[in-house]
Amino acid sequence: MIQAIVFLPLLAALVAGLGQRAIGPFAAKLITTGALFTSAALSWPIFLSYVMGTGQAEVVTVLHWVSSGALQFNWELRVDALTAVMLVVITTVSALVHLYSWGYMEEDPDQPRFFAYLSLFTFAMLMLVTANNLVQMFFGWEGVGLASYLLIGFWYKKPSANAAAIKAFVVNRVGDLGFMLGIFGTFLVFGTVSIPEILAAAPGMAGSTITFMGMRLDTMTILCLLLFIGAMGKSAQLGLHTWLPDAMEGPTPVSALIHAATMVTAGVFMVCRLSPMFETSDVAQGVVMFVGAATCFFAATVATTQWDIKRVIAYSTCSQLGYMFFAAGAGAYGAAMFHLFTHAFFKALLFLGAGSVIHAMHHEQDMRYYGALRKEIPITYWAMMLGTLAITGVGIYGVFGFAGFYSKDGILEAAFASGGGGVIAFWVGIFVAFLTSFYSWRLVFLTFHGKPRWAASEHIQHAVHDGHHDHPSDEHAGHDTHHDHAAGTHEGTAGYHPHESPWTMLVPLILLSIGAVFAGFAFKYPFIYPEEGMAFWSGSMLAFDEHLMHAAHNVPLWVKWTPFAVMAIGLFLAWNSYIRNTTLPARFVAQFGLLHQFLFNKWYFDELYNIVFVKPAFAIGRFFWKRGDEQTIDRFGPDGAAALVQGGTRLAVRLQSGYVYGYAFVMLLGLVGLASWAMVKFL
């Protein structure tokens, strides 16, 4: 069964990608979508078997792979509770994204290639999460990086899409260097790349030292930090996060699949899979917690100022990933995986809902040109509402809550219970919960409530004037609009009325809404409750801390109610600013202009990196190009040799005139020279 789950997407990708001209768009879509729904249907029984306590960890050998001295490993598919969680997340979200793309990409002439890329990504992600050794994990790790590059730059005629794809690829290469060094170091220390063998031996290496960069340092700290650098790149943590917002240049289904629900969670999965290693190093856990909390805070502050609907959700993703990492840093790996699980449903729902809005608004992405859409696209509105209720953690303690209520609160309670730095992370998480509520409801109010501002968008009016929808692959699709009009300054519709999306796009929204509502309530016990969690995670090698989770469930009542309180405050502030008193945001910007600019420009990370890394790299490249290649190598190498040959040729051409008297003159000179030499020599 596991072989079918993993390899059906690969087979579908090969058929759709290589045979696209022979089978056509419809067959390509049907084959890839059918394969993913089949994989999803096979994944859920595996997951539910672990939830009910009947699942058993197993390893399926595909083939013998490498045997080179001490380095020996097979291509194996590992199935346990941790894998089962990722299987349902990946295959379910991917299947729904495939179906959604039938409607969203309907007008695109290159649909087979798009669906082939989607399925290829899914296969690579499945390879990553079923890996039983680090080399196979790295294979899947790089596979999702390749597929991400292809999908972000899918509309390759757009310069901005190409630039975003290259940026994602380069930034991830930085993280992957750390990941590779971590794998090399792990093999050096443990003599194997088998994950079960490494995790079994990890506790015995606690306290040992190794020489690194000329210094004697703690072995497990160095290995864990190097591996975590890889996670920082793949999961867009602070410092290596700059690729994620730009990745919105890809089609919206790509954003939902890769940059919200699956690929960016690969780093979280890797840390949880190798959690027994991280448990041996307090320093490494502290770094993971600090980076997660800092990312959580940074991304949430930026999201409060963005106008592009997809960028708001992208920074929200970055922030929620921070929650997962500081949970892992606190030792609450079950809570981290629980938030990964619930986040996949409500974040994919929000991204696909945003895509439905963009589809309705002729691919306009600026929320300043939305407004009053709740009656025009009611199904999309209610889907987005449910996603917002889930991400903001709406719920009543002891009664019922949406998905994020259980998973996010579980993280905050575990962080508080862990003590020390966890308490600081708890308060950072509380403030971020307030910001999450504010920017999420801001998105809802600007998009669906208030007065219609559609006439203000030149993009929409141009489309209406032309009498057709802009094609998704148009050069304007997915662009950032930075008009100077304030939200609410233009009213009217100019004869245009938004339209609801086709059913191929609405059905995934409805199904994901079910997950956003019930995923937390239905599965909270196996993920984060002490007794049930021990049974669920047994055999998965996850370092589930039963005592920490006991302490988390016994924190003071004010700790449990604080997230709800800050959520309500954020909701009220957003309502007051964008519904009741719409002049308040402009007055705030006027009063705190520097702070707004700092946040709107994403803390100037891109500008800083441009100065520190990009410009020097270009300068060095230009130096070696002009001075090294052209003026040295070419000048004295091929160009110099060519010039010498050319000069000799010109001289030879002059000597070979073709006239008889010229040759006679040369012969006469030769005879005179020979006679002169003979006279000097012999006389």
Note the pLDDT tens digit of each residue in 242-298. Answer: 998 888 888 889 888 876 667 888 999 999 999 999 999 999 999 999 999 999 999
- Other beta carbons within 10 Å of 565: 13
Residues whose CB falls within 8 Å of the CB of residue 671, separated by 6 or more in sequence, listed in order:
none
Q: What is the pLDDT of residues 4-52, one digit of tens each?
A: 999 999 999 999 999 888 888 999 999 999 999 999 999 999 999 999 9
Q: Where are the beta strands (DSSP E) in 379-480?
A: 395-396, 400-401
pTM of the model as a whole: 0.88
Mean pLDDT of 506-533: 94
- How much is the pLDDT for 665? 80
Residue 664: predicted pLDDT = 83
Give the torsion sign (CA, 318, 320, 324, 327).
positive
pLDDT at 488 over 50: no
Angle between helical axes of 282-303 and 421-448 (0-180°, round to 10): 20
In the prediction, which pLDDT does 493 show? 44
Position 358 in a domain: yes
Q: Between 378 and 669, where is the model more confident?
A: 378
> How far is residue 128's CA from residue 106's CA, in Å, rounded to a whole number?
31
Report, as an integer, the average pLDDT of 60-79: 90
Q: How confident is the model at residue 584 (pLDDT cuts 50, 70, 90)?
A: very high
Both tokens of 588, joined, read 């705030």
Place of tokens 């700059």: 242
Cα dist. 408→167, 231, 436, 445 in Å? 31, 20, 11, 23
Non-local CB neighbours of 527 within 8 Å, separated by 6+ positions: 334, 335, 337, 338, 341, 407, 410, 533, 536
Residue 483 binned pLDDT confidence (cut-offs 50, 70, 90) = very low
pLDDT at 43: 95
Residue 306 pLDDT exceeds 70: yes
487: confidence class by pLDDT, cuts 50, 70, 90: very low
Which residues, other chains included, contact 152 with Cβ-Cβ below 8 Å and sequence gap of 6+?
Answer: 161, 164, 165, 168, 247, 249, 250, 254
Asked, for residue 52, whether it belongs to a domain, the answer is yes
Please name which of 148, 346, 111, 143 lies closest in space to residue 246, comparing C-alpha atoms.
148
Please give the pLDDT value at position 345: 94
Average pLDDT, stretch 82-111?
A: 93
Number of domains in the chain: 1
> Of 207-216, 299-308, 382-391, 481-490, where does mean pLDDT reach its minimum?
481-490
Residue 463: pLDDT band by 50, 70, 90 thresholds? low
Residue 465 has pLDDT above 60, yes or no: no
pLDDT number for residue 495: 52
Q: What's residue 97's pLDDT? A: 94
Residue 193 has what pLDDT?
94
Q: In whole angstroms, what is the distance from residue 160 CA to residue 251 CA?
A: 13
Residue 472 lies in a domain: yes
Burial of 656 (C-beta count, 10 Å sphere; 0-12/13-18/19+): exposed
pLDDT of residue 472: 43
- The Cα–Cα gap between 654 and 58 comes to 84
Is 627 contained in some domain? no
| Amino acid identity, position 406 | Y
Residue 134 lies in a domain: yes
Give me the pLDDT at residue 642, please: 76
The chain-wide mean pLDDT, for the chain, equals 88
Q: Is residue 327 part of a domain?
A: yes
The answer as to whether 296 is a domain residue is yes
d(CA 13, CA 151): 13
The pLDDT value recorded for residue 42 is 96
Phi/psi of residue 78, each to 5°? -95, 130
C-beta atoms surrounding 224 within 10 Å: 27
Confidence of residue 398 (pLDDT cuts 50, 70, 90): confident
Q: Which of 408, 349, 142 has the alpha carbon at shortest distance from 266?
A: 142
Looking at residue 477, its pLDDT comes to 39
Residue 392 lies in a domain: yes
Confidence at 476, pLDDT banded by 50, 70, 90: very low
pLDDT tens digits for 199-241?
Answer: 999 999 988 888 888 888 999 999 999 999 999 999 989 999 9
Take residue 162 and report the two structure tokens written for it.
């190409």
User: How confident is residue 474, by pLDDT bands cut at 50, 70 and 90?
Assistant: very low
Whether the predicted pLDDT of 509 surpasses 50: yes
Asked if pLDDT for residue 498 goes beyond 50, the answer is yes
Domain that holds residue 397: 2-600
Q: 59: which strand partners?
A: 78
The beta-strand segments (E) located in 21-170 are 58-68, 71-79
Mean pLDDT of 660-665: 79
